[in-house]
Amino acid sequence: MEIYNITHGVDIDGMSSAAFLVHYYHMPTKNVFFAEHREDRFNEMLNDVKGMRARNGLIVVSDYAVQGHAVERLIPELLRLKKAGNKIVWLDHHPWYDADIKLLSRFCDIVVVGENKERCGAELVYRFLCPEDSFGKKLARFAHIADFALDADSKSQAQLIKEYALAIKYFNLLGRTQRMRMLRSTIEQLASGRYKNKLISKGYSDYSSISREETKKLLANTAVLRVGRIKMAIGFGSKLQSTSACLSIAKKFNPDISIYIDTHKQHPSAHLRSIKGVDCSKIAYAMGGGGHPQACAFQIRGGHNFSAASVREKFVRDLVKLGSGFY
């Protein structure tokens, strides 16, 4: 049985989900495709799915939540793949709307989705599809710590998680052909169990070389405000890994909620992180996004030109107004 995987393409959890399938079932990495919530990357993934000619195979979607119109756009392709004799399994740990789960369940053989605070996406793939052994336990633990932003088991593990996260971000800045090659190579490294390798070290180094200057720009363009009972810091920048950017904001300004606005010209987005006890996902869901209570994101619609100070200031005011209704 041939296996295909559609996985979240921007983090360790998504890469590890695919690595389990490569390691245990020898799935070729050419059968891995990457999903994101950014509209252009969603369209790219949808075109990849349309190009699938799998018959009597297994399609695994991992670490990826969709909602509303995105589900409806995927349905025709899922139906086509089902008619070709394929089994479809969807495993995800992010919050979902009940209506989307109900609709998706009509076209999938196994659906395990919805917010899971105990297991990340890779751990669901391991639990439901893979045998239990020392390799799997190690990779599941690695993905769990990375995705839930927990304290690492050792300094060396903490450094590896940092290097993977930032290398993956760098790979996602590349053009499609090179990006696909680098992300698939990352999966191969995780599947081999050789976490420390030249590919990740080089990606981490390349990211670090651009992040220093970009972080300075971010912090220079961060507004700190009181929103109801909480302190919020909103920074504007580009090319930065979202968790790293929010950590930089948090370290300098010590807010309850750190928000990184990625000012990508065609596809800007907002990434939120909060301290325990403060649910920043209320803002993300109100803006059409999603995620977890302490880590979430949303796409920014409406053609904002964030190079203009007046546009940035208005966006901050709108976020503060929205946040004042929650906090």
Helix (H/G/I), strand (E/B), else coil: 256: coil
Q: What is the predicted pLDDT for the residue at 323? A: 92
Q: What is the predicted pLDDT for the residue at 176? A: 94
182-215 confidence digits (pLDDT tens) = 999 999 999 999 999 999 999 999 999 999 999 9
Q: Is the CATH number 2.60.40 carried by domain 3-204? A: no
Q: What is the predicted pLDDT for the residue at 270? A: 94
Q: What is the predicted pLDDT for the residue at 213? A: 92
262-303 confidence digits (pLDDT tens) = 998 788 999 999 998 999 999 999 998 888 888 999 989 877
The count of residues in the chain is 327
Q: What is the predicted pLDDT for the residue at 272? A: 95
Is the CA virtual torsion 290, 145, 116, 123 positive or negative? positive
Q: Which fold would CATH assign to domain 221-324?
A: Diaminopimelate Epimerase; Chain A, domain 1 (3.10.310)
Q: Where are the domains of the chain?
A: 3-204, 221-324
Pairing of strands 222-227, 230-237: antiparallel
pTM of the model: 0.85
Is the CA virtual torsion 163, 164, 165, 171 positive or negative? positive
Write the CA distances from 240 to 8, 27, 149, 202, 262, integer angstroms. 18, 31, 17, 17, 8
Q: What is the CA radius of gyration of the chain?
A: 19
Q: Is the Cβ–Cβ distance between 186 and 168 less than 8 Å?
A: yes
Q: What is the predicted pLDDT for the residue at 55? A: 95
CA angle 22, 17, 78 (to 5 degrees): 90
Q: What is the predicted pLDDT for the residue at 278? A: 94
Q: Which residues pair with 226 in a beta bridge?
A: 231
Other CB atoms closer than 10 Å to residue 226's CB: what's the count?
Answer: 13
Q: What is the predicted pLDDT for the residue at 290? A: 84
The two domains 3-204 and 221-324 share their CATH topology (first three levels equal)? no
* CA-based max dimension of the chain: 56
Q: pLDDT tens string for the chain (327 positions)? A: 899 999 999 999 999 999 999 999 999 999 999 998 888 899 999 999 999 999 999 999 999 999 888 888 999 999 999 999 999 999 999 989 899 999 999 999 999 999 898 999 999 999 999 999 999 999 999 999 999 888 899 999 999 999 999 999 999 999 999 999 999 999 999 999 999 999 999 999 999 999 999 999 999 999 999 998 999 999 999 999 898 899 999 999 999 999 999 998 788 999 999 998 999 999 999 998 888 888 999 989 877 889 899 999 999 999 999 999 999
Write the CA distances from 311 to 42, 145, 234, 246, 272, integer angstroms. 26, 37, 13, 21, 19
- Between the two ends of the chain, the Cα-to-Cα distance in Å is 51
Q: What is the predicted pLDDT for the residue at 51? A: 93
> Which residues are within 8 A (CB) of 291 and not within 5 positions of it... i.e. 6 or more apart?
94, 95, 272, 281, 284, 297
Burial 64-102 (b: 16+ CB within 10 A, else e): bbbbeebbeebeebbeebbeeebbbbbbbbbbbbeebbe
